[in-house]
Amino acid sequence: MRSRKVTRYYCDHCSRGSFQKPAMARHEAACYRNANRSCHRCDGKTVKKPIAEREKPIKTMAGECPDCLMAAVVRYNMAFDDADPWEMRVWYEKEQYKEDGRHWDLVLRGVPTRIF
């Protein structure tokens, strides 16, 4: 019988784990729950309007980065306890996020997106 001990690395902000230290360092730098995150898409532009004051459904406004908006929504929702009602939280729908991301990549950056 063989046995081996390995080191597993975990993100300080969420529950994600990895066996490779560089991979976890990259994830931690861009983790949505990290208040000091560095965005890989926009180089750190901020969200223009606070999440609590936005109209529903949530979507990007005039040149906002969808990843920075998603991070702001996640951090906003982290402030609630498990006992708080779900209606108090804000949702950034997956399809809207994808659409905003395609718009950012195609129009604002000029990078064509992959078509499947």
Q: Where are the domains of the chain?
A: 7-38, 41-110
The confidence score (pLDDT) of residue 23 equals 94
* pLDDT value for 91: 87
Q: Do 102 and 79 touch, CB atoms closer than 8 A?
A: no
Q: What band does 63 get if pLDDT is binned at 50, 70 and 90? A: confident
Strands 17-18 and 9-10, sheet pairing: antiparallel
Angstrom distance (rounded) from CA 71 to CA 74 = 5
Q: Does pTM top 0.75 for this prediction?
A: yes
For 95, phi then psi, to 5°, come to -65, -40
pLDDT, tens only, 65-103:
888 889 989 988 888 887 777 778 888 889 998 988 888
Q: Find, among 76, 31, 30, 29, the residue nearest to 49 by Cα.
A: 76
CA angle, residues 73, 110, 55, in degrees to nearest 5: 25
Q: Are 62 and 40 in contact (CB under 8 A)?
A: no
